[in-house]
Structure 1
Amino acid sequence: MSIDYSEKIPNNVDLAGDRKLQRALESWQPNFLNWWKTMGPAVPTQDVYLRTAVDVGKEGWAQFGHVAMEEYRWGVFLAERGDDRRIAFGEQKGEPAWQQVPGEYRADLQRLIVIQGDTEPASVEQQRRLGETAPSLYDLRNLFQVNVEEGRHLWAMVYLLHAYFGRNGREEAEALLHRNSGDLDSPRILGAFNEETPDWLSFFMFTYFTDRDGKYQLGTLKESAFDPLSRTCEFMLKEEAHHMFVGTTGVDRVVARTAELMREHDTEDIAPHGGVPLDVIQKYINFHYSVSLDLFGSEKSTNAANYFTAGLKGRWQEERRRDDHVLTDDAASVDVVRDGVLTTDEVPALLALNHDLRNEYVKDCHSGLKRWNRVLEKAGVDRTLTLPHVGFNRHVGLFADHHITPAGELVGADAWEAKKDRWLPSEADKTHVRSLMRPVYEPGKIAGWIAPPTNGINGQPFDYEYVHLA
């Protein structure tokens, strides 16, 4: 399914065959471009070495080249349609997947699409000014690549709203451009997408932890009985992988440079030497991990149960699960606090689906910690980075009313207040990290707080001119 770039809106869904839909999306397009101009990347460029999707197949689906940012061709791309796709879970398991929205599920499906769609432009808004302090042209290019793909993921959800949800869908598509990250009057829907991304360490943590949440949310929607949503999310996951790569390798490189400075100066206090101390890196991990865990919602959720039973939203890798995919007779354990003690409750498996998804995410997050600790070990640094307890710093779910330390100890409010600056970035920590953020725009050069990458983009060297600034 190659993508037609001859159209005003590149697509592989035959927009030209539905003139009403094509006109509706073409009327939305100028509003999107105006949003991009006002809320997108703030650094002016001539062109950027970007990856552009040209096909949705497994091989050869993208091409690379210098593209003027304002001329990037956003569009609508769905993965190939299966010949006889069947619903894999819930009450209608085994029945044909839906090509249209069943009336009884219209409101719930629209809500799921709106929430997913709202996260995409939010991250662009959060990262708007990061280019002004990019540590290298390589990193600046990666930021822009993430941004343009988040813009296309917004297009993916807007297409579904326009194509399948009538006037209400069109109104919701407009609202996606009217909410803005951190806006006091009209903020983004989910809390993590109203947080600041004021520095590049935060950006790397965001793309590692919060984009990884996006991977798992898209993975559950890829299982949906609503086939156009499934196919949309399947293709989005291809692009999402690069965002997590940016985060994983970004933190790799910060840790590597920190270790190098520790050896060079024989001290853990490398802040005076222009580095990010390991304790500060750990605090940033603690914050971004805990904020991202909140995105999974409450550990016990009737909404998640209803979505699953109806076939709207499955589990991560649903078809690999070895159960009946209906779960009406199954049970699961969830984490709770009872009588001042951390313990578990057994609940119906349908109510624990958010908890199940969160567990998959937590296992995945540990892979990054192993990488970063191997970097430290290889450098001869006898320290390790860790993930905090899942109840730490939580504002959503069963832990929201409790204070739990990174080690998993339940403490009172006074003890929490006394020690929270040891566990979360303090104002002094944030000020120091911001002080390191100085732009380096010369090809082959890099800021002193981060190591250069092992490899460049698409076989190009690190000193390639990835971005031509205006």
Structure 2
Amino acid sequence: MSSFDYSEKIPNNVNLADDRTLKRALEQWQPNFLSWWDDMGPDGSQNFDVYLRTAVSVDPQGWAQFAHVKMPDYRWGIFLNPAEQNRKIHFGDHQGEDAWQDVPGEYRANLRRIIVTQGDTEPASVEQQRHLGLTAPSMYDLRNLFQVNVEEGRHLWAMVYLLHKYFGRDGREEGEALLERRSGQQDNPRILQAFNEPTPDWLSFFMFTYFTDRDGKFQLCALAESSFDPLARTTKFMLTEEAHHMFVGESGVSRVIQRTVQVMNELKTDDPARLRAAGVIDLPTVQRYLNFHFSVTIDLFGADESSNAATFYSTGLKGRFEEGKRQDDHLLKGQTYRVMQAHGGALVEKDVPMLNALNEVLRDDYIKDSVAGVERWNKVIEKAGIPFRLKTPHKAFHRNIGGLAGLKVSPEGRVLNEAEWAAGVNQWLPSAEDRAFVASLMGRVVEPGKFAHWIAPPVMGINRQPVDFEYIRFN
């Protein structure tokens, strides 16, 4: 079934009507989800009519429709890519066997852990972004924020469906816990630290959706290889929606840069103080925000050496990014990979078993992908004739997980002592003054076609609508 039944209380393409026990359990979870959305979803937005994209099928040629809808009425649902006939496991110790349609008992705990960790990130980012609508730089940007939010809610539904259907009472309890944790809460925080960081302003939001949602892309791609077929099918469809989130981030930062270089050329200056006085975000501040979000995000891939990563791969639970395109035996036994560690005050590389280095393999794939987007931002700067380049910092910079955790390293990769780090940190990471300045720019602009002074308009609107289209109706 490729199209979705929207007459159902819970829209789905998984024949939910045929499983009364599951349907009843999810219908009991649904009001708790809506209560969480009311408490922790976008602040003060419940009665807005928002021009939202809603999935209507899993056909990549025409999978979504656009219409104005109130966010609490958004039709969150359960959507899986079509099953692949006779799908085989294509990596790990079970290579060549039929993909699993149910959870093998011996892998139950690990699969549940993977699904819960992924599921926890989805409501966390909604919570992190809860207040951003109050300082939106335009109606266009406000609508994009809300689209990201409802799709993160949809991705939570995707993981909760798997927990309820395949993990019994344990799964139902985990589904409840996903609504009970809170981003940044001391007593019951979200599982991964990056999802407990505040997202206080729109430059942070754009960096988050560029860097941290890109981590989501790589984690989902690795899970889309899973031998557990329902997880693979679920994450493949989530990736279709995730692409928009990264677009919001990449285009958002690009538009910030575009406005800044325009004012630099108008004033004929690169002096950060003069540019701030003119109401735009200077490029060194953009670089510091980039350094922070990049370094926090690459920690999400976990320790550089991990027996869990080896287990998840060998047992077929989680593959590599684009596993099917790799030219090796997909077993990786006896193969090695170079990881970085500190030794004698310097950074050195050592060979470790590749199975234990799979977090690092995924992190390195992510870094290559991230650098490509940063280069697209540099093209905006080059086009304006400005001699400045943004760059991702060294992967040992500002790390808090794995063998590099807590090491003092400059963005260029030089190991520092405490005094050197203290002297340079405000040049490398956003200072309290930087954050206060960016916060001072965050006034709400919501008249159609109008944009805050610090950001350029987009080249085109959403779904072929004009930029000044009424994306949100404030009722």
Tell me the TM-score normalised to structure 2 length: 0.98
Cα deviation code 1:399-447 (max 9, x no counterpart): 1031000010000122112211110000000000000000101001000
Is residue 151 from structure 1 mapped to residue 153 from structure 2 by the alignment? yes
Partner residue of 2:441 out of 405, 411, 436: 436
Q: How far apart are 1:383 and its partner, in Å?
A: 0.6
Q: Is the 8 A contact 2:56 2:65 kept in 1?
A: yes
The yes-or-no answer on 1:427 pairing with 2:428 is no
Query: What letter corresponds to residue 186 of structure 1 in structure 2?
Result: N
Equivalent of residue 462 in structure 2, options 434, 457, 461: 457
Counterpart check, 1:383 vs 2:385: no
**How far 1:46 moved relative to its partner?**
2.6
**Partners of 1:225 and 1:312 within 8 A in 2:** yes
Q: Distance in 2 between matches of 1:46 and 1:242?
A: 21
Matching residue within 203, 207, 210 for 1:208: 210
> Hey, what's the Cα distance between the residues in 1 that align with 2:147 and 2:351?
44
Match of 1:286 among 266, 291, 299: 291
Letter in 2 for 1:234: K
Instruction: Output aligned runs, 1:228-307, within 5 Å.
Output: 228-268=230-270, 269=272, 270-307=275-312
Q: Deviations along 1:155-188, whole A, 9 cap, x unmatched?
A: 0000000000000000000000000000111000
**Which whole-Å deviations, capped at 9, do the CAs of 1:356-413 have from their partners, x for residues lacking one?**
0001000000111111100001011111101000000000111103100001000012
Supply the RMSD in Å over aligned alpha carbons.
Answer: 0.7
In the other structure, the counterpart of 2:29 is 28
Question: Is residue 57–residue 80 contact of structure 1 (8 Å, CA) maintained in 2?
Answer: no
Structure-1 separation of matches of 2:33 and 2:258: 39
Q: CA deviation at 1:267?
A: 1.6
Match among 119, 123, 137 for residue 121 of structure 1: 123
**By how many angstroms is 1:118 displaced?**
0.2
Give 1:111's aligned residue: 113
C-alpha contact (below 8 Å) 2:225/2:319 kept by paired residues: yes
Q: What secondary structure, in the 3-state scheme, does the structure 2 residue paired with 1:255 have?
A: helix
What does residue range 338-349 of structure 1 map to in structure 2 within 5 Å? 338-349=343-354
Identity in percent: 60
Alignment of 1:53-452 (within 5 A): 53-268=55-270, 269=272, 270-452=275-457
Contact 2:407–2:415 (CA<8 Å) still a contact in 1?
yes
**Displacement after TM superposition at 1:152 (Å):** 0.3
Structure 1: stretches of 5+ with no match in the other structure: none
Q: Which amino acid aligns with 1:19?
A: R
- C-alpha distance in 1 between matches for 2:66 and 2:406: 48
Structure 1 distance, partners of 2:404, 2:262, is 38
Q: Please give the secondary structure, in 1, of the residue aligned with 2:473.
A: strand
Deviation at residue 266 of structure 1 after TM alignment: 1.6
SS in 1 for 2:120: helix
Quote how far apart the aligned CAs of 1:339 are.
1.5
In the other structure, the counterpart of 1:15 is 16
CA distance in 2, matches of 1:469, 1:424: 37
Measure how far apart 1:58 and its partner are. Answer: 1.6
Q: Which amino acid is the alignment partner of residue 334 of structure 2?
A: D
Q: After superposition, what is the alpha-carbon deviation per residue over 1:194-224, rounded to whole angstroms, capped at 9, x for unaligned? A: 0000000000000000000000000111000
Q: Which amino acid aligns with 1:313?
A: K
TM-score by length of 1: 0.99
Tell me how far apart the structure 1 counterparts of residues 30 and 455 of structure 2 sit (CA, whole Å): 38
Structure 2 letter corresponding to 1:394: R
Q: State the Cα distance separating 1:43 from its structure 2 match.
A: 3.1
CA distance in 1, matches of 2:139, 2:85: 44
* Structure 2 unmatched ranges of 5 or more: none
Give the match's secondary structure for 1:336. strand
